[in-house]
Amino acid sequence: MSYVTIDQVTKGYHQQVVLENISLTLKKGEFATLLGQSGCGKSTLLRSIAGLEDVDSGTIFIDGKDITHVSPRQREVGMVFQSYALFPNMNVFDNIAYGLKMKKAKNIKSRVTKMIELVDLVGKEQSYPHQLSGGQQQRVALARALVMEPKVLLLDEPLSALDAKIRKNLQKELKRIQKELDITTIFVTHDQEEAMTMSDRIFVMNKGKIVQSGSPVEIYTSPVNTFVAKFIGNYNVLSMEVFHQLVHSTELNGKEVAIRPEVLQIVPADEDQMSVQSNWGIKGFVKDVSMTGNVLRYEVETEGAALLVDDLHHKGKMLEQGEQVQIFVPKKECIIL
Ligand SMILES: Nc1ncnc2c1ncn2[C@@H]1O[C@H](COP(=O)(O)OP(=O)(O)O)[C@@H](O)[C@H]1O
Ligand SMILES: [Mg+2]
């Protein structure tokens, strides 16, 4: 049984279609991510689920109930935005308690206290937003949404404004809290790495459509088209014609070939050839080399295409700019699109 169902949702502004026939389902407790470039419709979809936008057609169900035309307050969803949007004149405790007070809820003090513990802000109850770091403010925003015990938590790029280190930290915290509460979550990001580390399931969006859904591993290892291959994992995508020329073989057939940078092996041109049964060899020269983390990334110019090659182990010496090289392409790693 699915807990959230979005069935053929379409929405446009003026003449422009922003969401085109979006359908997806989520299980209770699932952490799902909408991943896509800026402008592809992620926020519009999230806001439609929250009831902040009306959809033109289609249906949205939460926990078996059709909420397509229900007011935002009655949808039982919580939302956190990129901008913290806290009440500047209220302290942490009052910011978190606000929604409960409006509802004249019971046990406000104990519920808020529990949330403050959950998001690790004990001792900051009396602080005002301007006295908190960005990361702390976002914890308050999260607590403020969660204290209402929503059925679904909607997060619109909640970490995008934070520094890399704080961001990594909050990614872990957010996952911990989400698992602890077992709360069904839809997270929006344009950062593929963030989507990979956080999600049970990813929905890749492009131009108002969902182009692929699956676990992070499925999406990473089996992209369905050129867009996903390029957007996720920096695949080299070559037309079949160019590929045939490069490897002097017409063994593969299809429109395009996608190859992940880290499956390619790079060696100096004069080094011994590897087994030609399982590999194709391509000649080229190093156009550029850079280091990120502990990965050496080469940009290699070949006859017909520039290829990205990631050397994760770099047991040998670093190859230099301008150096003649050979690249080995493992046949089984070539994905035909
Ligand atoms: N209120 C609006 N009026 C007109 N166009 C809008 C409005 N909100 C969003 N759009 C347009 O809809 C498209 C998708 O926007 P959005 O959902 O914010 O994308 P994302 O969150 O993926 O960056 C964009 O082209 C944007 O310009
Ligand atoms: Mg957005």
Between the CA of 25 and the centroid of ligand 1 the distance, in Å, is: 23
Which ligand 1 atom is at minimum distance from the Cα of 157? 21
The CATH H-level superfamily of 4-231 is: P-loop containing nucleotide triphosphate hydrolases (3.40.50.300)
Q: Closest by alpha carbon to 275, among 312, 329, 311?
A: 329
Q: What's the confidence (pLDDT) of residue 314?
A: 67
Dist CA 226 CA 257 (whole Å): 9
Alpha helices (H) along the chain: 42-50, 92-102, 108-118, 134-146, 164-181, 192-198, 216-221, 226-231, 240-247
Between the CA of 244 and the centroid of ligand 2 the distance, in Å, is: 40
Nearest residue (by CA) to ligand 1, atom 12, is 18
Cβ neighbours, 10 Å, residue 156: 21
* Ligand 1 pocket check for 39: Cβ under 6 Å: yes
* Ligand 1 pocket check for 42: Cβ under 6 Å: yes
Dist CA 282 CA 298 (whole Å): 14
Q: What's the confidence (pLDDT) of residue 275?
A: 56
Spatial strand order of the sheet with 31-35 comes to 77-80, 152-156, 184-189, 31-35, 201-206, 209-214
Dist CA 246 CA 294 (whole Å): 29
CATH topology of domain 236-336: OB fold (Dihydrolipoamide Acetyltransferase, E2P) (2.40.50)
Which ligand 1 atom is at minimum distance from the Cα of 208? 14
Nearest residue (by CA) to ligand 1, atom 9, is 44
Q: Return the DSSP state at 131.
A: G
Q: What is the DSSP string of 61-108?
A: EETTEE-TTS-GGGG-EEEE-SS----TTS-HHHHHHHHHHHTT-SSH
Mutate to test the pocket of ligand 1, among 9, 11, 16, 18 (most ligand atoms within 8 A of CB): 18
Q: What's the confidence (pLDDT) of residue 233?
A: 79
Q: What's the confidence (pLDDT) of residue 1?
A: 81
Which ligand 1 atom is at minimum distance from the Cα of 205? 22
* Ligand 1 pocket check for 43: Cβ under 6 Å: yes
Q: What's the confidence (pLDDT) of residue 218?
A: 95
Angle at CA of residue 175, ends 124 and 200, nearest 5°:
160
Q: State whether residue 315 is helix, strand or coil.
A: coil
Phi, psi of 46 (to 5 degrees): -65, -45
Q: What's the confidence (pLDDT) of residue 295?
A: 87
Q: What's the confidence (pLDDT) of residue 282?
A: 93
pTM score, whole prediction: 0.90
Looking at the DSSP assignment, which residues form a beta bridge with residue 152?
A: 77, 184
Residues of the chain with pLDDT under 70: 272-276, 314-316
Phi, psi of 39 (to 5 degrees): 90, 0
Question: Which part of the chain is CATH 2.40.50.140?
Answer: 236-336
Between the CA of 45 and the centroid of ligand 2 the distance, in Å, is: 9
β-strand pairing of 152-156 with 265-268: unpaired
Q: Tens digit of pLDDT for each residue in 28-50?
A: 999 999 999 999 999 999 999 99
Question: Which part of the chain is CATH 3.40.50.300?
Answer: 4-231
